[in-house]
Amino acid sequence: MSKFKLIVICGATATGKSGLALELAVRLNTIIISADSRLVYREFNIGTAKPTPSELAIVPHYMIDICNPEDTMTVADYQDQVYSLIQNRTHTTPLLVGGTGLYIKSIVQGMKIPRVAPDNNLRTQLVETFTQSQLYAILQQVDSIAASRIHPNDPVRTLRALEVYYITGIPISEQQGENPPSYPILQIGLDSDPTHLQQRIAQRTEKMIEDGFIAEVQYLSHKYGADLPLLNTLGYQEIRQYLAGEISLEKAKELTVLHTRQFAKRQRTWFHAYPQIEWFDIQSPNLLNQIWHRVQEFLF
């Protein structure tokens, strides 16, 4: 039996995952593998709460700053790279840390993901030729199993399922499934009551502004253009609206807090659906000791 083990630290945004992971990684003399879908992109730093250079110097971090903003990191790409890191490991217990549920699921449950790159020409042709209801009807004909799992008004997943079918000739439902890793995995979840979490989100939003977030959005908009998809993500979109004169700075901050709170609620719903996750309250006065004790139990 392999001595290799994996520790996951997950939860909603602003629950302190990165800080906790840093403490544990130092104690364990191990590495941190990010499971955050925006940290993979270079130059998007303040608005993504990316670890600072000093934090990155304390513990080796992976899956951070590995993509240009114009590129796309798919879940399949992420899974391939993380599994490669794990297979070529020099540390017996790396920490997988983040709030992107699909990234974490792809690793801990071994999701089988069709290795089909997005085909923009095909997608454009389908969208310009058919309505969403027609596309869904086509999907029902070529892959009824996938259609039963996809909401009729979900254009993203409908299009992806059709894309996989037309490129490979095999229904996406036949290419999906799970092949969980054989090594033990401890999943630690950080949680908080919504009121406390909202306070933390508001504080973090203020700190991002203080740290130069507006200048970062201004620079990125100028360099890549306002239509860059990443600039329409949480925080960046609201500050971009402020820079365009559409809303005030106070409104931008208010909307950032609101949208982040809504995002955190969706994250909490996602993670609480998995009974394997062991939950810890971030308001606990001895949180670090509680988790360290659980980690030691798991490792030894």
Question: Total domain count for the chain?
Answer: 2
Mutual angle of helices 213-224 and 236-243, in 10-degree steps: 80
Task: Examine the domain organization and report whether 154 and 223 are in the same domain.
Answer: no
- Over residues 235-272, the pLDDT tens digits come to 999 999 999 999 999 999 999 999 999 999 999 999 99
Q: Is residue 153 part of a domain?
A: yes
Average pLDDT over every residue of 20-44: 97
Per-residue 3-state assignment (H helix, E strand, C coil) for 116-144: CCCCHHHHHHHHHHCCHHHHHHHHHHHCH
CATH of the domain at 236: 3.40.50.300
In a domain, 266, yes or no: yes
Please indicate, yes or no, whether residues 166 and 200 belong to a single structural domain of this protein: no
Task: Give me the mean pLDDT over the 266-289 stretch.
Answer: 97
The domain that holds 149 is classified in CATH as 1.10.20.140
CA dihedral 18, 24, 25, 27 (to 10 degrees): 150
List CB contacts of 76: < 8 A, sequence separation 6 or more: 106, 113, 114, 115
Domain end marker among 134, 160, 175:
175
Question: Does 194 score more than 90 pLDDT?
Answer: yes
Q: How far apart are CA 51 and CA 18, in angstroms?
A: 8
The per-residue pLDDT for 31 is 95
Name the 3-class secondary structure at 111: strand
Q: Which of 5, 26, 23 is nearest to 94 (CA)?
A: 5
Q: Per-residue confidence at 117, pLDDT binned at 50, 70, 90?
A: confident
Query: What pLDDT band is residue 92 in, cutting at 50, 70 and 90?
Result: confident
Give the range of the structural domain holding residue 150, as residue numbers without chain letter: 120-175
Whether residues 202 and 290 share a domain: the answer is yes
What confidence score (pLDDT) does residue 2 get? 53
pLDDT value of position 1 = 38
Query: Do residues 196 and 156 both lie within one domain?
Result: no
Q: Answer yes or no: is pLDDT of 228 > 70.
A: yes
Compute the average pLDDT of residues 152-179.
93
